[in-house]
């Protein structure tokens, strides 16, 4: 078993599947560690062997016979999944395209429909009861139970997870934040409340209302932190929540949530706290953590992670402490009057992203976002917010005659 997620190309499901699918559409997953992909004519001849009437369908009973024939070539966990499909398929038959998808180990909508219409639990022992696993396998199993609410998804994820690429995104962001903090720590000779240094906001990264025309600052501010306590809390939540989520959902989805949270945080500040600067990765971190916690609450009965109530309480405590620190700092005596201290509103922007788009993206680790209407609703609302915030930044400051703090 190796570790790491990867993005894979989807396949088109059959008309029969499209007509009868219920629940959420899912992303196609593919693995090359079982039955090799055969040429089209080979699959056709095998299908015809089990469909002598040339009806275009084979019964689930015949499909079970086929699995019994090839069972020795299949990974035991994946064999359980395919047998569950045969047992729970409501219409009692499998069309040719579904057959090709399944025998080439391409997981299609027919699988989700079968599990939704039948029992949600696979037959056989739970993944937690597996013995003789190596350290990396136990880690993957632990991550599966931390983030996925259904046993069938956990088993499939456990078998489909590969080690390349590793969860590089969150690790890279965290290392970059540490490097930037160390650089400013040595430059300013200050490790706590760096914001109180006259040179803190003069760099190219922090968001400052006087420099709001420099668009990169709406994102780059995430690499700056006001002190070691600020960085430590964000790092802890970012690594403990972000790394497992990236292992399951992949870098693309986590990037989308994180970047949207960071951008929403700075734009929310520019609209509601117009004179304040912004630093810290709390917008992205809170988007990830709030999306994960909301997903755990929504699937509470299915989540089998240990001490989930205690761990959720600890996550909320960490978020509350960090948010309380930000609120306290905002109203702390100004470092260089009349410029206010960094705003806390970015945290709220991240939470808003996490509870909307983030929940939809993490609702099921294999959903195809382009087929989810709810995701597009939230995405359109988010895009509208970004456009309105841009116009606000262009016109509102002069129309409202806002008195901005001096240039840093």
Place of tokens 């090799």: 36
Pair of tokens at residue 339: 């410029």
Task: Output 298-302 pairs: Cβ under 8 A, ≥24 positions apart.
Answer: 298/359, 298/363, 299/149, 301/149, 302/149, 302/150
Stretch (H or E) spanning 386? helix 373-391
Q: Has 270 been annotated as catalytic? A: no
Angstrom distance (rounded) from CA 279 to CA 197: 14
Tokens of residue 117, six digits: 């219409």
Tell me the two tokens of residue 223.
């690499």
SS3 content of the chain, % helix, strand, coil (to 5): 65, 5, 35
Residue 99: how many other CB atoms lie within 10 Å: 22
Burial environment of residue 383 by CB neighbours within 10 A (0 to 12, 13 to 18, 19 or more): exposed
Active site residue: 220, 282, 290, 343, which one? 282
* 207 neighbors 263 (Cβ within 8 angstroms): no
CB 305 within 8 A of CB 369: no
Among the options 208, 225, 249, 347, which is catalytic?
Answer: 347
Q: Catalytic: 407? A: no
> What residues have CB less than 8 Å from 147, skipping those under 6 apart?
244, 245, 248, 249, 292, 362, 365
**Active-site residue set:** 282, 347
């Amino acid at each position: 078993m190796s570790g790491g997620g990867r993005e894979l190309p989807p396949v088109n499901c059959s008309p029969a599947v499209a007509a009868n699918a219920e629940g959420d559409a899912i992303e196609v997953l593919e693995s090359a560690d079982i039955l090799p992909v055969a040429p089209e004519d080979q699959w056709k001849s095998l299908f015809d062997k089990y469909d002598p009437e040339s009806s275009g369908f084979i019964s689930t009973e015949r499909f079970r016979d086929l699995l019994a024939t090839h069972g020795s070539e299949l990974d035991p966990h994946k064999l359980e999944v395919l047998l569950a499909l045969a047992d729970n398929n409501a219409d009692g038959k499998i069309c040719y395209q579904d057959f090709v998808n399944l025998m080439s180990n391409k997981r299609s909508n027919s699988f989700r429909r079968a599990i939704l219409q039948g029992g949600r639990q696979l037959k056989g022992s739970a993944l937690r009861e597996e013995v003789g696993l190596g350290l990396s396998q136990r880690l993957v199993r632990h991550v599966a139970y931390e983030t996925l609410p259904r046993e069938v998804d956990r088993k499939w994820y456990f078998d489909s997870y590969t080690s390349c690429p590793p969860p590089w995104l969150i690790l890279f962001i965290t290392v970059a934040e540490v490097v930037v903090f160390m650089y400013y720590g040595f430059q300013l000779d200050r490790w706590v409340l760096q914001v109180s240094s006259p040179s803190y906001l003069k760099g190219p990264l922090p968001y400052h209302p006087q420099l709001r025309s420099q668009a990169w600052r709406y994102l780059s501010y995430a690499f700056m932190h006001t002190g070691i306590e600020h960085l430590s809390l964000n790092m802890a939540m970012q690594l403990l929540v972000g790394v497992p989520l990236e292992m399951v959902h992949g870098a693309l989805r986590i990037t989308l949530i994180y970047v949207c949270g960071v951008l929403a945080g700075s734009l929310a500040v520019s609209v509601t706290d117009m004179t304040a600067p912004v630093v810290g990765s709390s917008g992205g971190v809170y988007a990830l953590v709030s999306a994960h916690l909301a997903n755990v609450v929504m699937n509470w009965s299915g989540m089998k992670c240990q001490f989930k109530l205690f761990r959720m309480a600890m996550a909320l405590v960490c978020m509350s402490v960090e948010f309380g620190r930000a609120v306290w700092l905002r109203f702390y005596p100004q470092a260089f009057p009349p410029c206010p201290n960094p705003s806390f509103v970015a945290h709220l922007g991240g939470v808003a992203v996490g509870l909307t788009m983030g929940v939809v993206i993490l609702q099921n680790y294999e959903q195809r976002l382009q087929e989810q209407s709810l995701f597009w609703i939230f995405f359109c609302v988010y895009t509208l917010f970004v456009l309105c915030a841009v116009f606000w930044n262009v016109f509102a400051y002069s129309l409202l005659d806002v008195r901005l703090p001096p240039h840093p």
